[in-house]
Amino acid sequence: MASSPWIFGMLYLGLILQQSLFLNSLTSTNVHIVYMGERRQDEPELVSDSHHEILSHILGSKEAAKESILYSYKHGFSGFAAVLTQSQAKHIADFPGVVNVIPNRILRLCTTRSWDFLQVKPQIRNGILAKSQSGSGSIIGVMDTGIWPESESFKDDGMGEVPSRWRGICQEGEQFNHSNCNRKIIGARWYIKGYEAEFGKLNPRDGVEFLSPRDASGHGTHTSSTAAGALVENASFMGLARGVARGGAPSARLAIYKVCWSTGGCSSADMLAAFDDAISDGVDVLSASLGSLPPLPSYVEDALSIGSFHAVAKGISVVCSGGNSGPYPQTVINTAPWVLTVAASTIDRAFPTIVTLGNNQTLVGQAVYTGLDVNKFYPLVYGEDIASVDSDEDKAGACDSGSLNETLARGKVVLCFQSRSQRSATVAASTVLSVKGAGIIFAKAPTKDVSVSWSLPCVQVDFTIGTYLLTYMEATRNPVVKFGSTRTALGQQISSEVAFFSSRGPSSLSPAVLKPDIAAPGVNILASWSPASSPSEPDMLKNKLKFKFESGTSMSCPHIAAVVALLKTIHPDWSPAAIKSALITTASLEDEYCQNIVAEGAPHKQADPFDYGGGHVDPNKAINPGLIYDSDSTDYVNFLCSMGYNDTAISLVVGTPTKCFKSTNFLVNLNLPSITIPELKQTLSVTRTVRNVGPENSIYIARIQTPAGVSVTVKPRILLFDSTVKTLKFKVVLRSLLRIQGRYSFGNLFWEDGFHVVRIPLMVRTVIEDFYSET
């Protein structure tokens, strides 16, 4: 069997993923969220008092209660976060009015690869920007690491008054006061109590964090400027990709909710407080580029799921990143049906760099570096051959930290191979730099993301080229190599792909809900950065780095948040589900050059809905989708009932006493703009409802692309809308034609009126009823 190193690379990534899953599930803490459902009083202060009262029963005094309470949630719902022992938590759960007690969780930003990736800018065309006045009037809330307010992206030149409905604040703190908010950054808050209760007091004198909305990490500045950054002329990363940098909704306002800390992670107690405030402040859309790895917490115990449920019930769209654990199936996170879950795609830009060997042969790699001494031959050595005495060869082969011998590496270009334990080009580059090498060639699984190299040329090649270089070295007495300058290549020859790292569906928690929902650019995105965040980088760059390339679903998430803000300006009466439907039914399966979008992985394949949901976002088409698949909170409650959660647990999410009725199966009948049947035994009939948002008198005809192994019929096949008929129901009957335990197959259902093409994806997996029975 051919086992190329490329296949091994994939297996290694899988193992690493499992290890981190294991670590994640061990987190246990003493911060608890005491959830009390919908608030009963209108006066937030009274709600707060009632929280103190309950807690003082447990802790013995009002003073102790005030001390232990971290947050009183009082706007969107009632509840509080407090530091409690296990037994106090148990005790408090029995109090009247207490719906549930949830242990705090620590979430992560979705750019685990942030230092290891780079490049690109948003691709929103004029149609939607013109119609929405670039999103002026809409308010995007960003839950992240805060903001660097001095960045040019956040200038408010020419912006009108802050919308009068805005009720948020500009919360002061370390190096952040009222003057840091303006007509662009209209609100800023920070939340650290849950974090500090877990990890101890943050010491601001470390200089690595600010106890304020100010961003020490860069991540929040990047996502905020991607969503709503003003136009900045002549932006570049060290001269590469020079051009105009701008957010997707350049006239929209930003409300900053700092819930994540550069020292590591975001606490769910803090996040719930941010949801509570954002709902009452009046944001239109929330962008949350964070989440936890699988196993996914249940929808009734996850702060992001609960907070977003309340936001969506109030008409606020919540957009989340889908995670960076691809290309493995079932790795997608943030899968509640009421949120928009975003996958990451690449765009039509690359950074080719020519590598010339001593025999004049040329190879092409990818790199991003400028201004260094290139076009000169250097000796080429393999990391494994120059291991330091106290390191093993495997480590040296991957140029792991401390593995190379300086005497042998000095002045040479070092070839390194990505390994199971050392996957990062950034780590390898800093190892080679530390032993005074002249450059590095890093061979790795072929993906489009490129690491930034600060002080020495780092060219990334795939394993095939890496292996070829080894052959060349063995056959040559004095192997040498020369790097050309990096170019920025644009255009047609570079096809759009779902990024290798982008997490894939189906959802491991609710496989009948298609996730991710949609894809947006998330590889090598150029946006504003925090100058405070370069401690490990050379001094020459410190305080100069205003724009930076980043890759991750963290970067694709604010792209969709921006498009949602624009749509909301054009259609203020559309619900979050309606906006999601418009995005999914109009999404594209092809890139701008009419080539099918493929999925990075091994081997490349045409992307399917578990890679990119409805497809790649097409903002201009989403303005006018023709038909809408809408849902509201009642539908989501029915969905939670069908998930099998008990009444108590559901009341907790919903905030009002809720009773489930055994009725329709809302796992498959929730009115989503997609139909996923994880287990089709024989025949199944599902219903959907569509609302006409196009011309009053419209005739739509059904067309089906049938998934392999099933027959699909739609009843009725024609939908007639007029001035009185706005909403129509139809049935889709799926029948299994196979007697085998199948895989998922994919198809589409289209409704067409001669102008609109309203497409929803169909995902069906056939199973044999008695497959698992013993007899």
Ligand X SMILES: *[C@@H]1O[C@H](CO)[C@@H](O)[C@H](O)[C@H]1NC(C)=O
CA angle 204, 205, 209 (to 5 degrees): 40
> Residue 646 interacts with ligand X (CB under 6 A)?
yes
Q: Which of 51, 75, 219, 571 is catalytic?
A: 219
> Residue 123 interacts with ligand X (CB under 6 A)?
no
One DSSP character per residue, 559-625 reads HHHHHHHHHHHH-TT--HHHHHHHHHHT-BSB-TTSPBPEE-SSS-EE--HHHHTT-B--HHHHT--
* Nearer CB in complex with ligand X: 280/508: 508
Instruction: Using CB under 6 A, pick the residue from 123, 280, 405, 665 that binds ligand X.
Output: 405
> Residue 360 interacts with ligand X (CB under 6 A)?
yes
| CB of 356 vs ligand X, minimal distance in Å | 9
260 vs 271: CA distance, rounded Å: 9
- Kindly indicate which of the ranges 10-18, 127-135, 318-326, 403-411 contains the residues binding ligand X, using the contact rule CB under 6 A: 403-411
> Residue 374 interacts with ligand X (CB under 6 A)?
no
Structure tokens at 126: 């004029």
Within 234-263, which residues bind ligand X (CB under 6 A)?
234
| CB of 651 vs ligand X, minimal distance in Å | 10
Instruction: Using CB under 6 A, pick the residue from 18, 359, 663, 687 that binds ligand X.
Output: 359
- Kindly indicate which of the ranges 340-348, 401-409, 504-512, 632-640 contains the residues binding ligand X, using the contact rule CB under 6 A: 401-409
Q: How many CB atoms lie within 10 A of CB 96?
A: 5
> Residue 300 interacts with ligand X (CB under 6 A)?
yes
Q: Which residue, chain included where needed, has tokens 């060219």? A: 459
* Nearer CB in complex with ligand X: 646/687: 646
> Residue 407 interacts with ligand X (CB under 6 A)?
yes
584 vs 596: CA distance, rounded Å: 17
Structure tokens at 761: 């994806």
Instruction: Using CB under 6 A, pick the residue from 649, 668, 702, 763 that binds ligand X.
Output: 649
Residue count of the chain: 775
| CB of 189 vs ligand X, minimal distance in Å | 17
| CB of 669 vs ligand X, minimal distance in Å | 22
> Residue 547 interacts with ligand X (CB under 6 A)?
no
- Kindly indicate which of the ranges 41-49, 490-498, 619-627, 646-654 contains the residues binding ligand X, using the contact rule CB under 6 A: 646-654
> Residue 164 interacts with ligand X (CB under 6 A)?
no
HEC sequence for 236-285 = EECCEEEEEECCCCCCCEEEEEECECCCCCEEHHHHHHHHHHHHHHCCCE
* Nearer CB in complex with ligand X: 232/340: 232
The answer to whether residues 428 and 511 touch, using CB atoms and an 8 Å cutoff, is no
Structure tokens at 448: 């489009």
> Residue 488 interacts with ligand X (CB under 6 A)?
no
> Residue 478 interacts with ligand X (CB under 6 A)?
no
> What interhelical angle do 86-93 and 44-59 show, nearest 10?
120
> Residue 476 interacts with ligand X (CB under 6 A)?
no
The answer to whether residues 626 and 692 touch, using CB atoms and an 8 Å cutoff, is yes
> Residue 177 interacts with ligand X (CB under 6 A)?
yes
Q: Which of 68, 528, 530, 554 is catalytic?
A: 554
* Amino acid code (one letter) for 227: A
Within 178-207, which residues bind ligand X (CB under 6 A)?
179
Report which of 684, 693, 677, 682 is spatially closest to residue 761, judged by C-alpha positions.
677
> Residue 645 interacts with ligand X (CB under 6 A)?
yes
* Nearer CB in complex with ligand X: 18/177: 177
Q: How many residues bind ligand X (CB under 6 A)?
A: 15
Instruction: Using CB under 6 A, pick the residue from 231, 408, 623, 701 that binds ligand X.
Output: 408
> Residue 389 interacts with ligand X (CB under 6 A)?
yes
- Kindly indicate which of the ranges 402-410, 544-552, 611-619, 679-687 contains the residues binding ligand X, using the contact rule CB under 6 A: 402-410
- Kindly indicate which of the ranges 69-77, 373-381, 405-413, 743-751 contains the residues binding ligand X, using the contact rule CB under 6 A: 405-413
Q: Is residue 219 annotated as a catalytic residue, yes or no? A: yes
Q: Where are the beta strands (DSSP E) in 74-138?
A: 79-83, 100-103, 106-109
The answer to whether residues 347 and 359 touch, using CB atoms and an 8 Å cutoff, is no
259 vs 287: CA distance, rounded Å: 12
Q: Is residue 156 annotated as a catalytic residue, yes or no? A: no
Q: Is residue 206 annotated as a catalytic residue, yes or no? A: no
Question: Could you tell me the end-to-end alpha-carbon distance of the chain, in angstroms, rounded to an integer?
Answer: 37
**ω into 506 cis (within 30 of 0):** yes
The answer to whether residues 462 and 434 touch, using CB atoms and an 8 Å cutoff, is no
| CB of 177 vs ligand X, minimal distance in Å | 4
Q: Which of 144, 277, 635, 753 is catalytic?
A: 144
Residues 6 or more apart from 144 whose CB is under 8 A from it?
Answer: 109, 215, 219, 220, 223, 224, 256, 257, 258, 259, 260, 287, 288, 289, 290
| CB of 578 vs ligand X, minimal distance in Å | 30
| CB of 570 vs ligand X, minimal distance in Å | 33
> Residue 434 interacts with ligand X (CB under 6 A)?
no
Catalytic residues: 144, 219, 554
Binding site for ligand X (CB under 6 A): 177, 179, 234, 300, 359-360, 388-389, 405, 407-408, 645-646, 648-649
